[in-house]
């Protein structure tokens, strides 16, 4: 008989309903923390921070020391994976990532093989090994990757754009090339996440930040099917591995997503209400979410009220408390503490 997990997040992911939900935050290692800003300045730039295992581990640990979150998520970036496949990546100050475009059949064919992730991203795995040594024993270590659709949108456009027009255009005009890119990213993602698990990740999360712009059959083909392939391959390699999937702004696409993909938990954004997600998503297993991030900027009674609201809405099923998206740089660190204190007292 398999022993039941002891860590709170692993218990929730196994389907247990806990009296107090475990909590962590997307982007919990970030610019809202003064200690993060100091370490980033020490690293010199964002990519240097990602590829420095000691400093990346340090910023991952900072919010654990400050707040005692139930999980630490690896500090990295979803665009490290496509960078490992060949395209140049850089960050423009105040504007975000820029990437050498991959938008033609020849450019897709010229990508390095999926196995390239092992060599190029070995520093990321070293960060995980450091974290397994340094984290408190009760803290779950989460690895992650971007989903193929979201990663492809950056590769095709060379930058993040709200409407993902370049990716939709390639998908419509040359579906074979687009599918080849998705397939290559799917294979590389499996290898990358498998390496993260071997390095110490206990859970992995799949971020599909732009899933909401996929509609109808495209959502099935490029959000659901790649997730199912990745999760199936990971669970074959690592039996019992819990997987969290986040098809952000999927709306009705959240319904049945866990069943269709094999995900143990579906993270939901704050464009859906907690009551809706409890009714339509939590029936299939653990749900993660979904406090609106702006409450950590404004704080006050609204933060307390909405934190209690989220806890109460998901109380009857397995739940991991989180935000509906990443914490923003203008959030007040004191509001994070208030959120945690409120949910643990709820």
pLDDT of residue 93: 78
CB within 8 A of 225, min separation 6: which ones?
none
- How far is residue 169's CA from residue 152's CA, in Å, rounded to a whole number? 12
The catalytic residue among 37, 66, 77, 308 is 77
Per-residue model confidence as pLDDT tens digits over 265-322: 999 999 999 999 999 999 999 999 999 999 999 999 999 999 999 999 999 999 999 9
Per-residue model confidence as pLDDT tens digits over 12-68: 999 999 999 999 999 999 999 999 999 999 999 999 999 999 999 999 999 999 999
Helices (H) and strands (E) in the chain, counts: 18, 9
Per-residue model confidence as pLDDT tens digits over 153-164: 999 999 887 779
Q: Where are the domains of the chain?
A: 8-345
77 is catalytic: yes
Q: Is 322 exposed, middle or buried (0-12, 13-18, 19+ CB in 10 A)?
A: buried
What's the pTM? 0.96
The catalytic residue among 31, 112, 315, 344 is 31
Q: Is 176 exposed, middle or buried (0-12, 13-18, 19+ CB in 10 A)?
A: exposed
344 is catalytic: no
User: Considering the chain, what is the average pLDDT of its residues?
Assistant: 96
31 is catalytic: yes
pLDDT of residue 94: 76
The catalytic residue among 11, 32, 36, 40 is 40
CB of 89 within 8 A of CB of 82?
A: yes
% pLDDT > 90, the chain? 95
The catalytic residue among 27, 32, 254, 264 is 27
What is the band of 1 on the pLDDT scale with cuts at 50, 70, 90?
Answer: very low
Domain at 8-345: CATH code: 3.20.20.210
pLDDT of residue 5: 76
User: Among 122, 22, 11, which Cα is nearest to 72's?
Assistant: 22
pLDDT of residue 2: 55
CB of 282 within 8 A of CB of 321?
A: no
175 is catalytic: no
Average pLDDT over residues 82-107: 93
Tokens of 31: 């610019």
The catalytic residue among 32, 36, 154, 192 is 154
CA distances to 163, 168, 211, 252 from 218, rounded to whole Å, are 15, 10, 10, 14
């Amino acid at each position: 008989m398999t022993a039941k997990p002891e860590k709170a997040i692993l218990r929730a992911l196994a389907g247990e309903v806990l009296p107090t939900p475990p909590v962590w935050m997307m982007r919990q290692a970030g610019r809202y923390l003064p200690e993060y800003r100091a370490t980033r300045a020490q690293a010199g730039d964002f990519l240097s921070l990602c590829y420095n295992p000691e400093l990346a581990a340090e910023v991952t640990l900072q919010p654990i020391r400050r707040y005692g979150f139930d999980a630490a998520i690896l500090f990295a970036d979803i665009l490290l994976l496509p960078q490992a496949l060949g395209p140049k990546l850089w960050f423009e100050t105040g504007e975000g990532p820029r990437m050498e475009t991959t938008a033609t059949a020849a450019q897709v064919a010229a990508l390095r093989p999926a196995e390239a992730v092992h060599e190029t991203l070995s520093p990321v795995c070293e960060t995980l090994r450091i974290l397994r040594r340094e984290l408190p024993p009760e803290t779950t270590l989460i690895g992650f990757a971007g989903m193929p659709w979201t990663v492809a949108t950056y590769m095709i456009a060379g930058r993040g754009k709200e409407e993902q027009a370049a990716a939709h255009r390639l998908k419509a005009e040359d579906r074979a090339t687009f599918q080849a890119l998705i397939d290559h990213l799917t294979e590389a993602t499996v290898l990358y996440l498998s390496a993260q698990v071997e390095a110490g990740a206990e859970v992995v999360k799949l971020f599909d930040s732009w899933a909401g712009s996929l509609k109808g059959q495209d959502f099935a083909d490029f959000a659901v099917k790649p997730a199912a392939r990745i999760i199936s391959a990971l669970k074959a390699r690592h039996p019992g591995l819990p997987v969290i999937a986040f098809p952000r702004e999927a709306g009705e696409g959240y319904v049945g997503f866990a069943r269709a993909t094999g995900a143990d938990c579906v993270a939901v954004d704050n464009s859906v209400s907690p009551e809706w997600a409890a009714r339509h998503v939590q029936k299939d297993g653990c749900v993660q979410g979904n406090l609106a991030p702006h409450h950590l900027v404004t704080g006050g009674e609204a933060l307390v009220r909405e934190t209690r609201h989220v806890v109460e809405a998901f109380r009857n099923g397995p739940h991991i408390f989180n935000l509906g998206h990443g914490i923003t740089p203008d959030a007040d660190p004191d509001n994070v503490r208030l959120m945690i204190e409120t949910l643990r007292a709820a």
